[in-house]
A = this chain, B = another copy of it.
Amino acid sequence: MTPERIRALLEAVAQGQTDVDEAFANLAHLPFEELGFARIDHHRTMRQGFPEVIFCEGKTVEQVVAIADRIVSSGAALLATRTNAEMRDALVAKYPEANVNALARTVVVAGEIPAAETIGKILVVSAGTSDLPVAEEAVETARVMGNEVETLYDVGVAGIHRLLACRERLSDASVIIVVAGMEGALPSVVGGLVNVPLIAVPTSVGYGASFKGLAALLGMLNSCASGVTVVNIDNGFGAGVAASKINRLRAG
């Protein structure tokens, strides 16, 4: 039921065309949620500058292209994550203007994203070179959502001097995403050096007793640096979204 239909119903009651009991029965089954649905959708996609996202892992190339087609033709911006090479080729063939990041496994086809008012820069920090695909996924996600993003890679805690040498860059950021596998200690060290919001992303990088990222995940959840928050293993996309939400200016 749309606002128009509610208004029409009320007018009919006012004009005596519909009696009170009938109108009440109609309103009692008011499908308000559809109303809510539309509002949320509008809010999210139009005003907030969020793209539509396709998580491509486990989908076929045909499915990915079909979904992309529907999104792009609707004028929305598109972010495809966890693509494989074949998917990337297919998307680029169709949308030559697409922005491809093979390391991040992302494809972006930009549509209408109104500019959001952001607070500052997002900095993505990673521990080792094997963490880069996850870090880059966070970078691409945050960028397509209108953020200025910088990166600081390969500053794992076993060579703490590398991180300390970049302390100034840490201080410049408004939000920091820290990506690390193995023991996942980097967020604790970074979190002790800065006071801005810090999102930790454990990666499945590691051997034996890392148990596919469990060691890094537990390490980050138990960080001795106050206020570190954590997302799922390898979830660069989720970290990028969380950082974007923080980086938007919002006076409640």
Contact = CB atoms under 8 A, between A and B. Distances in A.
A249 B249 CA distance: 8
Contacts of A162: 33, 37
Nearest to A234: B208
A189 B32 CA distance: 17
Range class of the A interface residue count:
35 or more
Copies of this protein, total: 8
A93 interface: no
Nearest to A240: B227
A126 interface: no
Interface string A193-206: 10111110010101
Interface stretch (A40-48, A68-76, A95-103, A104-112): A40-48
A121 to B, nearest CB: 4
Interface string A147-167: 000000000111111111101
A61 interface: no
A184 B222 CA distance: 9
A119 B246 CA distance: 11
A80 interface: no
A198 B250 CA distance: 14
A92 B232 CA distance: 41
A188 interface: yes
B222 A128 contact: no
A163 B199 CA distance: 24
Contacts of A119: 249-252
Given A6-B27, A192-B158, A231 B242 contact: no
A223 B183 contact: yes
Nearest to A37: B161
B37 A10 contact: no
A241 interface: yes
Given A11-B20, A234-B207, A218 B221 contact: no
Contacts of A135: none
10 contacts: A10-B20, A33-B164, A48-B195, A158-B226, A183-B184, A185-B188, A208-B217, A208-B232, A215-B218, A216-B222
The 5 residue pairs across chains A and B that have the minimum distance between CB atoms = A120-B252, A208-B233, A185-B185, A229-B229, A227-B241
